[in-house]
A and B are shown apart, each in its own frame.
Chain A
Amino acid sequence: MADGPTVLDEIELDALTELVNIGVSRAAVSLREMVGGQQVMLSVPNVVLVSRPEAVDLLGRQETNRLVAVHQVFEGDITGRALLIFPEANSLELVRAVTGGELSLEDIIELEQEALAETGNVILNGCLATIANMLRRRLKMSLPEVLRGRGPEFFELAPPPAAGDVVLFLYINFAVHDRDIRGYIAMLMDMPSLSALQQLLREFIERETGQPALRPDADA
């Protein structure tokens, strides 16, 4: 991402990826409970910092069909939005999985919005709470909201994005065993929040390694 914002250095991005990995792994354990004990598979997370247009482009290249996003605002030292995004075609399957498969299609459709919101809530909260704990900060989460669209809508929510906003785009594929369910997680934050996150990451790196993070050596 040569023209994207490259604010975090290699070890900071590494630390963030590791935090996301732990957060999502824990969230997967909760999702597993929700879908009746079916194993939830996770890909290795890929964390990139991109501008909003780049995030729309990235998502557009992976997904051409309509999408559903469960969206929550988080507030604290870092303020931003977290989104759980998946193909709209998976939506009823996810609802069927979390409601146990005993319901009629009519009931499933009626419950869809609520079940999606709750699933998103469990995954996003589980992920963000773990990250906040490891950074020793508290984040307040809003109630989940369900959005539908093709991607651009998710990254341009009111209030209008400030210039220079970045999207922390976490590609992590989650898939539920034996079900056609998969999705991504994205986080949006502005530059001041990204600077605050960078500071918290440096403190975290220092605690974890016992070494100051300001001048990390550059090997891979």
Chain B
Amino acid sequence: MAHKVLIVDDSKLARMSVAKSLNNLRPDWTRIEATNAEEALALARQSGVDIALLDFNMPGRDGLSLAADIRALDPRIAVALVSANVQQEILDRASAVGATFLAKPLTEALIGAFLEDAEARLKAAGR
């Protein structure tokens, strides 16, 4: 089933990189992009998303705070927090808000594994 994926990163390059992988892995899925937490939340409310990949270190609110808001919006949304900052507090907080932690630099294999897991969870949740 085709899903809608939200990519949030203040770096255009990082968004383009994720978009390239998504396009290779799931060419029929829809992608939407945001550069910060507010924009991302507005998009998620407005158009509804199934999967979200969120950068951690962004100007304004960080990806963890956004992850919590997105999960509050709809707990069925599969959320990944993306960062090179693998400090325990961040891993713990990601897990506490129900987000999967993905280490930067991202690889297609890493994104692929997350998407498979997300698909399985979405299916189980009836989406």
Give the residues in chain A near B87, CB-CB below 8 Å. Answer: 28-29, 32, 39-40
**Bound state CA distance, A211 and B19, in angstroms?**
12
The reply to whether A210 and B20 contact each other, CB–CB distance below 8 Å, is yes
Residue of A nearest to B104 (CB): A22
CA distance A44 to B35 in the complex (A): 13
Question: Cβ of B100 < 8 Å from any Cβ of A?
Answer: no
Residue ranges of A at the interface with B (Cβ–Cβ < 8 Å): 10-11, 14-15, 17-18, 21-23, 25-26, 28-29, 32, 37, 39-40, 42, 44, 130, 134, 205, 208-211, 220
Binds A, one of B10-18, B44-52, B73-81, B114-122: B10-18
- How far apart are A171's CB and chain B's nearest CB, in angstroms? 13
Q: Flag if B85 contacts A42 (CB, 8 Å).
A: yes
A16 and B14 CA atoms in complex are apart in Å by 11
Residues B12 and A21 in contact, CB atoms below 8 Å apart: no
- Contacts A22-B104, A22-B105, A220-B35 given: A44-B84 contact, CB under 8 Å? no
Residue of B10, B13, B20, B35 ringed by the most chain A CB atoms within 10 A: B13
Least CB distance, A31 to chain B, in whole angstroms: 10
A17 and B11 CA atoms in complex are apart in Å by 8
Q: Is B12 within 8 A of A14, CB to CB?
A: yes
The reply on B86 being an interface residue by CB < 8 A is yes
Nearest Cβ distance between residue A105 and chain B, in whole angstroms? 30
Task: Please indicate the chain B residues that have their CB under 8 angstroms from the CB of A32 in the complex.
Answer: 87
Q: Tell me how far the C-beta of B19 lies from the nearest C-beta in chain A, rounded to whole angstroms.
A: 8
A32 to B35, CA, bound (A): 29
- Inside 8 A of A25's CB, which chain B residues have their CB? 57, 83-86, 104
Distance of A209 Cα from B13 Cα, bound (Å): 7
Chain A nearest Cβ from B52, distance in angstroms: 19
Instruction: Please name all residues of chain B whose beta carbon is closer than 8 Å to the beta carbon of A23 when the two chains form the complex.
Output: 84
Considering the complex, give the chain A residue whose CB is closest to the CB of B9.
A18
Closest Cβ of chain B to A45, distance in Å, is 8
Q: Given that A44-B57, A134-B105, A220-B35 are contacting pairs, would A18 and B85 also be in contact in the complex, using a CB cutoff of 8 Å? A: no
Question: Can you list 18 pairs linking A and B with CB atoms under 8 Å apart?
Answer: A11-B12, A14-B11, A17-B11, A21-B84, A25-B84, A25-B86, A26-B85, A32-B87, A37-B88, A40-B87, A44-B59, A134-B105, A208-B13, A209-B13, A209-B20, A210-B20, A211-B16, A220-B12
